[in-house]
Amino acid sequence: MAGTTTTDRGSWNSKLGFVLAAAGSAVGLGNIWAFPTKVATEGGAAYLLIYLLCTFAIGFPVMVAEITIGRKSGKNPVGAFKAISSSKFFPLVGLWGVICGVMILSFYTVVAGWAFGFAFEEIFYFLASSELLQNLFGGIGWESYSASMKGAADWLTDTGNGFKNAIIATVFMLGTIKIITAGVSDGIERATKAMMPLLIGIIVVMIIYVLLQPGSAEGVSIYLLPDFSKINAGLIFSAMGQAFFSLSLGMGALITYGSYLNKKENIPQAAAFVTLADVGIAFLAGLLIVPAMYLAQSQGININAGGSLASSTDLVFQILPALFHTIGGSVGMLLGVTFFLLLSIAALTSTISLLEVPVSYVIDEFEVQRKKAAWMVGLGILVVSITVAFFPALIGWFDYLFSTIGLPLGGFLICLFVGYVWKTDQALNEMEYGFAGIKQTLFSKVWPVFIKYICPAAILYNLISNFI
């Protein structure tokens, strides 16, 4: 049986590998699909400021805690709590994390599948409407050819088509499983190292294109000018949930990734890189999407629904494709394909981490080999995904229960564990390996205060005020 010793579990080849994999986990649909519309509808830069506060004051300390638990124990979220305490309760917190991972992955693959399908839709749409091709056809057979291309494009954009949703979600899940079976450094690290630079390149090129278009300026001001009147308890709760989701916190993804981290690495520094990468890309995604939305409006596309801005799903899967079609020709197609590839890549580096959590649990706790564990767990989750594919209304429910509530709840309990059961001093001892003299730094005075008091109080207050 494999899977129980440290060498069998695998490890990162380099710190950069860990940072890119963790940043890959963090940067996902949350940054590109969810974050920009939240900023645009919930007060522009006012939301951004609250979001930054949640990220740095709550998210970052919890991220350090998760990675440290992972590295100390060298285990999956359930095994980690068992390894470093005799508590009967906290392994259940780990199990809750595994369950959240499974459930988030089940709907995440469906949305990722939509994005992936739309990349092809842009190609079919181009093939159906290109004047160049029409001229080449010289009128012969063009009508029926164009109709069949248009049919394929329409099929790919029908997010209500359960059968189509299921097929593409399956493709996405199989890709994720395949990467996970290759292991930590040869699978996860290699894939994310290739995809993250590509993702950043695409986003920057697209921002430059959109900001150079005349209609986009209004979006820039909506995005960057604060409307402080919109700040209320609901907004703060939303920003906190978004921060947890976006940083992949509260379900043990970073306990798992931390468990493959070398002792010589500096945990607070690595966590800072990951946090900055996540925030940076969310900020860039907003700078791309909010102006693109107003560019669409300047082209006559309706960007409102029921008196306010359209939802993120409508925005990404209706308004932006309409914009790409309006731009038309090969430029429109290239923009469309590139944008949806960007979304798919971001989603894939996140689904990898979502699947790795339950897979590492099965590898460690049931002594199953990685390949077998990845296929078993991945195909099991696919069954739930296919159900979601046929009933997309489940996405909202699952998202609310397992991300909006589930992740902050997990984060709260992780703070209690590190603050009061394992103790922050022990955690600092673990950090000391890659950060000699940490106990003499300001970080070692401030971080425990956040983990013991500020983070749990803020999370609890938010959770309770949301229910009231």
* 147-155, 174-182, 219-227, 347-355 -> range binding ligand PFF (CB under 6 A): 347-355
For residues 353 and 444, which CB has a smaller minimum distance to ligand PFF in the complex?
Answer: 353
Enter the DSSP assignment of 310. P
26 interacts with ligand PFF by CB under 6 A? yes
For residues 303 and 343, which CB has a smaller minimum distance to ligand PFF in the complex?
Answer: 343
* 5-13, 21-29, 70-78, 312-320 -> range binding ligand PFF (CB under 6 A): 21-29
Across the strands, what pairs with 305? Answer: 308
Using an 8 Å Cβ cutoff, are 112 and 347 in contact?
yes
Min CB(367)–ligand PFF separation in Å: 24
Nearest-5° Cα angle at 240, 435 to 402: 100
Min CB(28)–ligand PFF separation in Å: 2
Token pair recorded at residue 26: 């963090």
Residue 328 φ then ψ, to 5°: 70, 180
Residue of 7, 26, 10, 29 lying closest to 270 (CA atoms): 26
342 interacts with ligand PFF by CB under 6 A? no
For residues 153 and 289, which CB has a smaller minimum distance to ligand PFF in the complex?
Answer: 289
* The one among 106, 353, 360, 404 contacting ligand PFF by CB under 6 A: 353
* The one among 350, 404, 424, 444 contacting ligand PFF by CB under 6 A: 350
Site string for ligand PFF, 165-204 (x = CB under 6 A): ----------------------------------------
For residues 108 and 223, which CB has a smaller minimum distance to ligand PFF in the complex?
Answer: 108
Residues with Cβ within 8 Å of 155's Cβ and at least 6 positions away in sequence, in order, are 161, 164
Enter the DSSP assignment of 11. -
- Cα 36 from Cα 34, distance rounded (Å): 6
Angle, in degrees to the nearest 10, between helices 320-327 and 90-129: 20
Distance of CA 347 to the CA centre of its chain: 6
Q: Is 43 left (phi over 0), alpha (psi -120 to 50) or beta?
A: left
* Range 102-121, binding ligand PFF (CB under 6 A): 104
Residues binding ligand PFF: what is the number (CB under 6 A)? 16
28 in helix, strand or coil?
coil
* 122-130, 308-316, 317-325, 348-356 -> range binding ligand PFF (CB under 6 A): 348-356
Using an 8 Å Cβ cutoff, are 24 and 246 in contact?
no
Using an 8 Å Cβ cutoff, are 85 and 94 in contact?
no
* Range 222-281, binding ligand PFF (CB under 6 A): 245-246, 248, 251, 253
Distance of CA 245 to the CA centre of its chain: 7
69 interacts with ligand PFF by CB under 6 A? no
For residues 21 and 323, which CB has a smaller minimum distance to ligand PFF in the complex?
Answer: 21
Using an 8 Å Cβ cutoff, are 192 and 24 in contact?
yes
For residues 153 and 279, which CB has a smaller minimum distance to ligand PFF in the complex?
Answer: 279
404 interacts with ligand PFF by CB under 6 A? no
Min CB(346)–ligand PFF separation in Å: 7
* The one among 20, 29, 58, 427 contacting ligand PFF by CB under 6 A: 29
Residues with Cβ within 8 Å of 292's Cβ and at least 6 positions away in sequence, in order, are 210, 216, 219, 320, 323
* The one among 30, 94, 241, 410 contacting ligand PFF by CB under 6 A: 30
Contact residues for ligand PFF, defined by CB under 6 A: 25-26, 28-31, 101, 104, 245-246, 248, 251, 253, 350, 353-354
